[in-house]
Chain A
Amino acid sequence: MIQIENLTYQRGSRVILDNINLKIEKGEFVSLIGPNGAGKSTLMKIVLGLLNGYKGTVLIDGIDHRLWVKRHNFGYVPQKESFDPLFPATVSDAVKLGLMKRRLFPPRDAKKRTAAALEFVDLCGFENRFIGELSGGEFQRVLLARAVAADSDYFFLDEPEANVDKQGVSRLYSILTRLKEEGKTVVNISHDLQTAVSASDTIVCLNKTLHSHTKPELLSAEIVRRTFGNAVRLLEKDHV
């Protein structure tokens, strides 16, 4: 379980997150939605111990999140992962990063676990392909395979559908749904409201403050408008 209590984060005088209180149960599929600059990625980075200088408490499975992150594996799919396309890393290399926590060398069963993770994301036979040769959707699934290989109960995804076509997005969400069915906790930042609503157990509407933390079926157009502002008038009730 992830517990966030009275979390406030400021960058200079600008408040990015204001007194956030949130509880994510184990095995829950949670989607964080909100406009650009709402603090979604910041919240995820704080939970993963990648950002300091905040006020409040973050606990994962009852222990301080920084300690938890040091001790445990977790799956993470970033919004973007920049790399030189000529960098000589294969798909197998990229996936094995998920197995490197507190290790100098990959574990003995790394090959088996890599193959299983690639099979999970429908990328069988991609092991020796160079990552610079992959399409955006394929690369995103490699990142997901890396998260799967980490063999954690927690998955954190920061807009995994970015740079992926519609078919790729639905394939991505079917993989995430399978993860949820296996009892994994999925925390997903999304701009694709419709897909997020259909796949998630809980929708968290965030825009500096927490506007709503509700089941998808209870998400009203009013909540969405409050979260996104007037920019989403088009997203009226029947679209949500």
Chain B
Amino acid sequence: MFDSPLLLTAFIGVMLASVSTSLLSVPVTMNKVSFMSEAFAHITFSGIALALLFEWNVTAVSLIAVIFFSLLISFLTKNNRSEQVNITMIFLAVSMAVSVILLSFNERYTVDLAGYLFGNFLFMTPADLKASAVLIALNTFYLSIFYRWLFYWSYNPKSAQVYGIPVNFVYYTFMVLIAVNVVVTVKSVGVILVTAQMILPGLTALRLVRKIPAAAAVSTLISLTAAAAAFFITCYRDLPSGPVLVCVLFAFFLFSLPLRFLVTFLRGHSLSFGRPGSRLRQ
């Protein structure tokens, strides 16, 4: 199978993209900001539509668009997390509307559109492999240096600020990092499904292990295994790659449910990580 350079590139590309998103998956899940990645994916689609219309570089245009709008959304919502969802959803809808309008000017769009919407491993190019490798390095650097700041910001931004964590820096950089990861991952799973790849590995890992570094390792393992499985299923069954990857990741999640019961039983703890009936502290 790997005699074909196209397939080899696709395989390496999807594995690299899996590693990069899985590294961010745990903090994204912990922060409950998966809707941000959804919005960034739709903004990426606007960039793709614009690039296709004017025959510009798709990745470059998407990257500029998504970084600009991620900073704008972060600025508009940084002091009001309850408004964050509403404002983000407005940008999501508007960017999708703009994408459709832009695409309506382009008669050739049907050729590429399905691939960008639902992902296609075969879209991967050697340049994408380099971009994914750089992104893994960037994610690893960011998480290893700023892990504690991100952790305390996720726990409670106000308390983190009181004790000297630069919460604005953490917020803006984390949002930009999510945005950049979305742009690079879009080719493997598509605009519609990228959020699933962003949250499912982390969510599954956090159901199995409590400590964040361990969860990041489990998340990466799950993501890599799912990507490899999805790649082979796609090749042998001639199925759409993005949806297959999401379904495999979801299968892992379903498998984690009974496994969590087993893990907690073996640990001798109650099933809930919090006290029974505990609610969000107000």
Q: Do A and B bind each other?
A: yes
Chain B residues whose CB sits within 8 angstroms of the CB of A73 once the complex forms = 164
Q: Which residue of A lies closest to B149 (CB)?
A: A104
The answer to whether B159 and A97 have CB atoms under 8 Å apart is yes
A48 to B161, CA, bound (A): 11
A87 to B30, CA, bound (A): 7
A100 to B275, CA, bound (A): 28
A231 at the interface (CB under 8 A from B): no
A93 to B146, CA, bound (A): 15
A34 to B131, CA, bound (A): 59
The answer to whether B278 and A97 have CB atoms under 8 Å apart is no
A235 CB to nearest B CB, Å: 28
Chain A residues whose CB sits within 8 angstroms of the CB of B158 once the complex forms = 78, 81
B237 at the interface (CB under 8 A from A): no
Given A82-B282, A84-B280 in contact, is the A97-B274 Cβ separation under 8 Å? no
A98 CB to nearest B CB, Å: 6
Number of interface residues of A (CB under 8 A): 34
Over the window 147-191 of chain B, the binary record of Cβ atoms lying under 8 Å from chain A Cβ atoms (1 yes, 0 no) is 011011011101111111100000000000000000000000000
Chain A residues whose CB sits within 8 angstroms of the CB of B280 once the complex forms = 82-85
Q: Which of B152, B156, B273 contacts A82 (CB 8 A)?
A: B156
The answer to whether B155 and A80 have CB atoms under 8 Å apart is no
Q: Which of B149, B161, B165, B273 contacts A86 (CB 8 A)?
A: B273
The answer to whether A88 and B159 have CB atoms under 8 Å apart is no
A133 to B278, CA, bound (A): 9
Over the window 188-219 of chain A, the binary record of Cβ atoms lying under 8 Å from chain B Cβ atoms (1 yes, 0 no) is 00000000000000000000000000000000
Over the window 56-75 of chain A, the binary record of Cβ atoms lying under 8 Å from chain B Cβ atoms (1 yes, 0 no) is 00000000000000100100
Given A81-B281, A82-B282, A133-B274 in contact, is the A100-B148 Cβ separation under 8 Å? yes
The answer to whether B282 and A85 have CB atoms under 8 Å apart is no
Give the total number of A-B pairs whose CB atoms are below 8 A apart.
89
The answer to whether A104 and B160 have CB atoms under 8 Å apart is no
Interface residues of A in 79-133 (CB under 8 A from B): 80-89, 93-94, 97-98, 100-106, 130, 132-133
Q: Which residue of A lies closest to B209 (CB)?
A: A88
Given A76-B162, A97-B159, A130-B273 in contact, is the A104-B145 Cβ separation under 8 Å? yes
Q: Which residue of B lies closest to A136 (CB)?
A: B281
The answer to whether B148 and A132 have CB atoms under 8 Å apart is no
The answer to whether B159 and A132 have CB atoms under 8 Å apart is no
Chain B residues whose CB sits within 8 angstroms of the CB of A106 once the complex forms = 148
Which of B158, B164, B215, B279 has the largest count of A CB atoms less than 10 A from its CB? B164
Over the window 127-163 of chain A, the binary record of Cβ atoms lying under 8 Å from chain B Cβ atoms (1 yes, 0 no) is 0001011100001000000100010000000000000
The answer to whether B148 and A104 have CB atoms under 8 Å apart is yes
Binding site for A on B (CB under 8 A): 30, 32, 145-146, 148-149, 151-152, 154-156, 158-165, 206, 210-212, 215, 272-275, 278-282
Binding site for B on A (CB under 8 A): 48, 50, 70, 73, 76, 78, 80-89, 93-94, 97-98, 100-106, 130, 132-134, 139, 146, 150
Not counting A85-B280, A88-B212, A102-B164, a sample of 16 additional A-B residue pairs whose C-beta atoms are within 8 angstroms of each other reads A50-B161, A76-B163, A83-B156, A85-B281, A86-B274, A87-B30, A88-B273, A89-B151, A97-B152, A97-B160, A101-B163, A105-B148, A130-B273, A132-B274, A133-B273, A133-B274
